[in-house]
Every structure is written in structure tokens, then in C-alpha cells.
């Protein structure tokens, strides 16, 4: 039975006890909710893969309480890793580093590298400090589905498979962390996320490579763990710029087998009637924060197609564009 706890007294203790006994917890972070297990307990980590329905060679991110623990998980801490950790942790940045020999290959999907981050959420931090160890956690959704940004989303997806759900309210950022691979000669962004490429370059003092692709066939071997190319609702997702919107809408309306919805930054005029207009998503930051809720809403409304007008692909808008393209590619 899932022990649904709010932020009540004793909630953290119950979650820590669950982790210590090899159980699974859901924890709020600033990006999305995670499905967590004790990263040093192979059986518990295997359960995460099972519950999520995720192939066992897709590595998990290890969440830690603060940057000083990085040396426990990384084979060595490079000046670049230290610089980025100091600048962005706690925060939506995952560092990919060579793993230390004590990190279980079950967590890393057999790879020599491990993804590490310190989440910026008071409940997650309180939990990690009380637990003391690392928590291996993918997003708390079934494999390939839309990531959860509220405790209710987690319960709807994973229900009784989680022992304790910590409710930390809606996630502030709303899209996953930026993943930076530090194992090569230059830092490479493998997933656009809550930390913008501009901010990374500002802190590093030079440009970074960005290998972010919504096309699975273009993903290189290093990024093969990124093939979770879905983030997809049941509704078919169709992308359109504001200029081509009316034309796209008319085409979609002609062929759709059910209701057609629209998600855009702002309210638009001159649209065909009988379009189900979802509440506008707002600026790029706001768009990121509400994106996954809106995709879930499209399914609740039984939409056959959701036409989305992405925000400009700058700042966190890059991550929103990436997720929308993946959703469109897999629907
Ligand atoms: O914001 C986030 O990062 C959230 C919260 C819960 O922290 N977590 C998250 O985890 O998005 P997940 O498992 O849904 O996505 C992690 C991505 C996966 O595509 C995985 O393959 C990749 O990171 N990844 C993790 N460790 C890796 C490694 N050692 N090498 C290559 N890719 C890795
Ligand atoms: Mg995920």
C-alpha cells in the first residue's frame, strides 16, 4: 500500500526508513518528481527499473545532498566538474562523470560513467541529508510517458508500486535537468533542461557542444541512454509556428478522429471554431512549468490531437522545444 504523505511530521523519517529497507519512494524535485531507491542497494535499484518498465541498460541519475559528496561517486573531480557543481548545485544540472569503483553497475546500466545531481527542492534536500547516501532516481513515470510534476501525477502513474510519496507541491522548473557530459575533451550537453546553455557557457567562460536530438537515429553511442524519445501523451502531438497555425489547424481538423486542442504561449485569435484551447502556457519559463500538466490534461479531455506552438528556443525554451519535438516524434 502506498503511504501518501504530505509534508507532515514524520514524512521524511518514513521515507528514509523505506529507503533503508530497500523500498521505493517518490520525491519532489525542482524539475520533476523522481522514483527513488537507495543507490547502494542493487535489489532496490532493480525494482526501480521494473516498476518504471525501463530497460536495464538505461542509467539512473544519483541524487546527493551536496557537492562535497561528488568525490564519493566520481572516480575523480575535475576542476570543470567542481566549477559547475559550485555554480549550479543545488539546481537542475546533472553532471556525467567517470564513476568511482564503488558505484554499482546496476545504477549506471553497466556504463563506466555516472550522472549526479543535487536537486534544488527543500523536501528532497531534507530527505537526502537525513538519508545520508545517494538516491538513484529516474522521473517517476512509466517508461516513455509524460514526466510527473505533481504528487497526484505520480500516484496516477505508479500508484501502489511506491512505498512512500513525498508531496512537495508542483515542480517549479517543470522539465528535467540539463545533462552535461564531462567525460570527453570538452563539455557536451546531452539533454536540454532547466539550466540554459547560455548560463553554462557564461560560467565555463567558453562555448559548449550541444548534442541534443529528438531523432533517435541521430543519437550517438554516448547518448544512447537518451533514447527515451517519448515524453508523449496519448493524444497525437503536432507542432506549428504561430504563422502556419491556421493552415495546420485546418489540415488537422480535416483528418482528426476526435477533438483537437491547442497549446500556445498566449491566447490566439482567428482560430477555427471547435478547437479546445488549453489555458495559455505563458513565457518560456512558465511554459516549462506547465508543459507536462497540459499534456496530461489533453489526455483527460480525450483529445485526439494537440497542436502545440512552441516558445522561442532560448533559455529553458530549448528544453520545451526538445520535449515537444520528442512528443511529436513518438505520437
Ligand atoms: O531532472 C531530472 O534529471 C529528473 C529528476 C528526478 O532528477 N530525473 C530524470 O531522470 O529525468 P531520467 O532517468 O528520467 O532521465 C535521466 C537521463 C536518461 O535519459 C538517462 O539515460 C541519462 O539521463 N543518463 C543517466 N546516467 C547516464 C550515464 N551514465 N550515461 C548516459 N546517460 C545517462
Ligand atoms: Mg524520464
Burial (Cβ within 10 Å: 0-12, 13-18, ≥19) of residue 243: exposed
**Residue 138 Cα, ligand 1 centroid: separation in angstroms?**
6
Q: Which fold has domain 4-210?
A: DHBP synthase (3.90.870)
**Would you say residue 5 has pLDDT above 80?**
no
pLDDT for 208 beyond 50: yes
The whole-chain average pLDDT of the chain stands at 92
Per-residue pLDDT band for 257 (boundaries 50, 70, 90) equals very high
How many angstroms separate the alpha carbon of residue 179 from the centre of ligand 1?
8
Of 19-28, 174-183, 231-240, 297-306, the least confident? 231-240
Q: Which atom of ligand 1 is nearest to the CA of 226?
A: 19
Q: Looking at 50-54, 140-144, 270-274, which range is the least confident one?
A: 270-274
Report how far ligand 2's centroid is from the alpha carbon of 302 (Å): 23
C-alpha of residue 175 to centroid of ligand 1, in Å: 12
Q: What is the number of the ligand closest to the CA of 180?
A: 1
Judge if the beta carbon of residue 176 lies within 6 A of ligand 1: yes
Q: Residue 218 — very low, low, confident or very high, per pLDDT cuts 50/70/90?
A: very low
Report how far ligand 2's centroid is from the alpha carbon of 254 (Å): 34
Q: Residue 220: what are its φ and ψ, rounded to 5°?
A: -75, 175
User: Is the CB–ligand 1 distance for residue 148 below 6 Å?
Assistant: no
- The more confident residue out of 105 and 272 is 105
- DSSP H or E run through 290: helix 284-300
Start-to-end Cα distance in the chain: 33
Whether pLDDT at 225 is above 70: no
pLDDT at 232: 87
pLDDT tens digit sequence for 270-307: 888 889 999 999 999 999 999 999 999 999 999 999 99
Strand segments (E) across the chain: 3-5, 25-27, 34-38, 61-63, 93-98, 113-117, 135-136, 164-166, 178-181, 188-191, 209-210, 236-239, 260-263, 275-277, 305-308
If pLDDT is split at 50, 70 and 90, which confidence band does 209 have?
Answer: very high
CB-ligand 1 contact for 14 (6 Å cutoff): no
Q: Is the CB of 114 inside a 6 Å radius of any atom of ligand 1? A: yes
Q: Report the DSSP beta bridge partners of residue 281.
A: none
Q: For residue 193, give the ligand 1 atom closest to its CA.
A: 1
236-330 CATH pick, 3.40.50.300, 3.50.30.10, 3.30.460.10, 3.40.50.11030: 3.40.50.11030
**Interval 196-224 mean pLDDT:** 75
What is the grid cell recorded at 34?
A: 523522481
50 CB-near residues (< 8 Å, 6+ apart): none
Q: Which range among 106-110, 117-121, 198-202, 246-250 shows the weakest confidence by mean pLDDT?
A: 246-250
Taking a 5 Å cut-off on Cβ, the residues next to ion ligand 2 are: 139
* Torsion sign over Cα 223, 72, 70, 139: positive
Amino acid 270: pLDDT: 83
pLDDT over 80 at 3, yes or no: no
Domain boundaries, the chain: 4-210, 236-330
Ligand 1 atom index nearest CA of 190: 32
pLDDT tens profile 145-176? 899 999 999 999 998 899 999 999 999 999 99
Amino acid at each position: 500500500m502506498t503511504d501518501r504523505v504530505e509534508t507532515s511530521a514524520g514524512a521524511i523519517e518514513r521515507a528514509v526508513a523505506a529507503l533503508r529497507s530497500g523500498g521505493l519512494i517518490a520525491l519532489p524535485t525542482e524539475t520533476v518528481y523522481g522514483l527513488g531507491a537507495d543507490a547502494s542497494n542493487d535489489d532496490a535499484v532493480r525494482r526501480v527499473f521494473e516498476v518504471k518498465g525501463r530497460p536495464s541498460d538505461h542509467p539512473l541519475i544519483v541524487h546527493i545532498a551536496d557537492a562535497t559528496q561528488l568525490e564519493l561517486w566520481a572516480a575523480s573531480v575535475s576542476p570543470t566538474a567542481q566549477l559547475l557543481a559550485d555554480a549550479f548545485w543545488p539546481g537542475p544540472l546533472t553532471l556525467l562523470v567517470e564513476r568511482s569503483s564503488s558505484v554499482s553497475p546496476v545504477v549506471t546500466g553497466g556504463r563506466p560513467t555516472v550522472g549526479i545531481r543535487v536537486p534544488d527542492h527543500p523536501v528532497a534536500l531534507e530527505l537526502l541529508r537525513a538519508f545520508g547516501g545517494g538516491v538513484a532516481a529516474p522521473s517517476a513515470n512509466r517508461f516513455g510517458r509524460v514526466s510527473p510534476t505533481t504528487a497526484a501525477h505520480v500516484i496516477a502513474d505508479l500508484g501502489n508500486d511506491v512505498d512512500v510519496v513525498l508531496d512537495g507541491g508542483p515542480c517549479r522548473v517543470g522539465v528535467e535537468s540539463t545533462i552535461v557530459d564531462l567525460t570527453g575533451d570538452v563539455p557536451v550537453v546531452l539533454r536540454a533542461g532547466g539550466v540554459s546553455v547560455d548560463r553554462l557557457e557564461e560560467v565555463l567562460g567558453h562555448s559548449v557542444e550541444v548534442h541534443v536530438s529528438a531523432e533517435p537515429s541521430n543519437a550517438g553511442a554516448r547518448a544512447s541512454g537518451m533514447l527515451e524519445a517519448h515524453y508523449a501523451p496519448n493524444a497525437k502531438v503536432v507542432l506549428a509556428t504561430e504563422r502556419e497555425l491556421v493552415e495546420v489547424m485546418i489540415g488537422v481538423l480535416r483528418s482528426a478522429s476526435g477533438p483537437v486542442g491547442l497549446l500556445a504561449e498566449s491566447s490566439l485569435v482567428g482560430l477555427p471554431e471547435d478547437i479546445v484551447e488549453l489555458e495559455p502556457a505563458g513565457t518560456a519559463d512558465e511554459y516549462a512549468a506547465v508543459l507536462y500538466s497540459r499534456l496530461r490534461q489533453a489526455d483527460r479531455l480525450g483529445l485526439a490531437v494537440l497542436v502545440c506552438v512552441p516558445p522561442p528556443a532560448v533559455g529553458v525554451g530549448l528544453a520545451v522545444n526538445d520535449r515537444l519535438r520528442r512528443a511529436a516524434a513518438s505520437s
